[in-house]
């Protein structure tokens, strides 16, 4: 005969066995071979409970797995692009250093070997530009993943308020919520890294484009000038309150016809006298302009073609044409060195003080 104590125990055992046989719920089981904190859902496998909320858990778990795989691929793509950018940058600077070393020693104008190296440097910089474009596209893709992760987190939190679930469903939802929150943090970090790299590489490529232009001019003339003037125009420098070379008065005043300029008493920054063919003025011009921009980064310049007033009308007209052509050549040199063309005003005038055609550069 069964005692009264055993009669109270057996119904409870039967109820537990019946609950297991119904298949209405199942416990969270540890995934074989996995450890806590790793693998999806902190190392646990969530099996279906057969409830309405349990089916929602399955859907959210699948969405989270797919999103994780997508973010893993994006992270790998970012690492690959970053490594490619580093390799291209190293190759670019190696070629540029070789060209500059050759120019520093001096070489023939338009040396074909240096031209070939310059073209190689251009290709390496183009590769960096392509990587910057790819990083921008990847950033857009990661931004999409960020939106998906935020939506998944909201959906998981909303599912916690659904009815028709059991305790195991709530535990599974909490685990999915925690994993999704960690994924959101990871995506945000990846987005920040992408944004920083795109900004940094864009500025880098822009500056090196100007340096390549200046280097091309140096190869053309067979001598080294230095970095692009463009990089100096945006570099903060010491500004003198009353610099000796600066005057608030404009460097020239257009005449009534607009084609001539009156020269004031200020000392010009550079005077180039074209008394012989192929005047080598580039290095002196670069040095003078660079020193000014080091002290006043936003300085503008006035370029004036000076024609001697002495001689017959035909000689004056011929000299005017030569002076204007010379001024255009100096302007091209300045822009090749990296100075924006809108920072230079060009004018022409005649002067009794000039014996030969001149080009004078004033600080505005």
pLDDT of residue 317: 80
Whether the CA torsion 195, 200, 203, 205 is positive or negative: it is negative
DSSP designation for 267: P
Report, at the CATH architecture level, how domain 252-363 is classified.
2-Layer Sandwich (3.30)
Q: Average pLDDT, whole number, for the chain? A: 76
Mean pLDDT of 307-320: 81
Express each pLDDT in 181-226 by its tens digit: 999 999 999 999 998 899 889 888 888 888 888 888 888 878 776 5
Express each pLDDT in 23-41 by its tens digit: 333 434 433 333 333 344 4
**Residue 183 and residue 195: Cα distance in Å, rounded?**
18
Long-range CB pairs of 209-214 (<8 Å, 24+ gap) are 209/125, 210/338, 211/96, 211/338, 212/96, 212/118, 212/121, 212/122, 212/125, 213/336, 213/337, 213/338, 214/336, 214/337, 214/338
Would the pTM of this model clear 0.75, i.e. be above it? no
* Domain chopping of the chain, boundaries: 40-221, 252-363
- The most confident of the ranges 14-18, 171-175, 225-229, 260-264 is 171-175
**Residue 181 and residue 325: Cα distance in Å, rounded?**
67
Express each pLDDT in 283-306 by its tens digit: 888 888 888 888 887 888 988 888
**Proportion of the chain above pLDDT 70, given as a percent:** 73
Name the band, by pLDDT with cuts 50, 70 and 90, for residue 337: confident
Express each pLDDT in 138-165 by its tens digit: 999 999 999 999 998 888 888 777 776 6
- The CATH number of the structural domain formed by 40-221 is 1.20.1050
């Amino acid at each position: 005969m069964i005692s009264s104590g055993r009669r109270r125990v057996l119904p409870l055992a039967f109820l537990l066995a019946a609950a297991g046989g119904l298949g209405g719920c199942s416990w969270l089981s540890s995934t074989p071979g996995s450890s806590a904190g790793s693998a999806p859902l902190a190392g646990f496998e969530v099996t279906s409970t057969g409830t309405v909320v349990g089916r929602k858990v399955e859907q959210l778990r699948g969405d989270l797995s797919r999103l994780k795989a997508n973010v893993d691929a994006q992270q790998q793509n970012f690492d690959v692009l970053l490594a490619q950018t580093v390799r291209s940058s190293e190759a670019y600077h190696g070629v540029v250093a070789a060209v500059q070393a050759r120019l520093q020693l001096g070489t023939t104008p338009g040396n074909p070997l240096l031209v070939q190296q310059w073209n190689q440097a251009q290709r390496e910089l183009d590769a960096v530009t392509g990587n910057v474009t790819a990083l921008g596209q990847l950033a857009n893709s990661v931004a999409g993943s960020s939106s998906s992760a935020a939506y998944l987190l909201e959906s998981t939190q909303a599912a916690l308020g659904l009815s028709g679930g059991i305790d195991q469903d709530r535990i599974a939802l909490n685990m999915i919520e925690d994993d999704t929150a960690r994924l959101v943090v990871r995506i945000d970090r990846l987005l920040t890294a992408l944004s920083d790299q795109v900004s940094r590489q864009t500025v880098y490529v822009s500056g090196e484009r100007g340096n390549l232009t200046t280097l091309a001019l140096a190869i053309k003339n067979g001598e080294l000038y230095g970095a692009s003037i463009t990089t100096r125009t945006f570099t903060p420098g010491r500004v003198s309150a009353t610099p000796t070379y600066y005057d608030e008065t404009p460097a020239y005043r257009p005449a009534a016809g607009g084609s001539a300029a009156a020269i004031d008493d200020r000392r010009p920054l550079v005077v180039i006298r074209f008394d012989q063919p192929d005047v080598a003025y580039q290095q002196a011009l670069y040095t003078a302009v660079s020193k000014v921009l080091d002290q006043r980064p936003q300085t503008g310049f006035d370029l004036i073609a000076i024609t001697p007033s002495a001689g017959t009308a035909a000689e004056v007209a011929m000299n005017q044409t030569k002076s204007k052509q010379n001024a255009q050549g100096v302007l091209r040199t300045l822009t090749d060195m990296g100075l924006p063309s809108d920072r230079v005003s060009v004018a022409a005038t005649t002067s009794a003080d000039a014996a030969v055609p001149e080009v004078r550069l004033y600080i505005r």
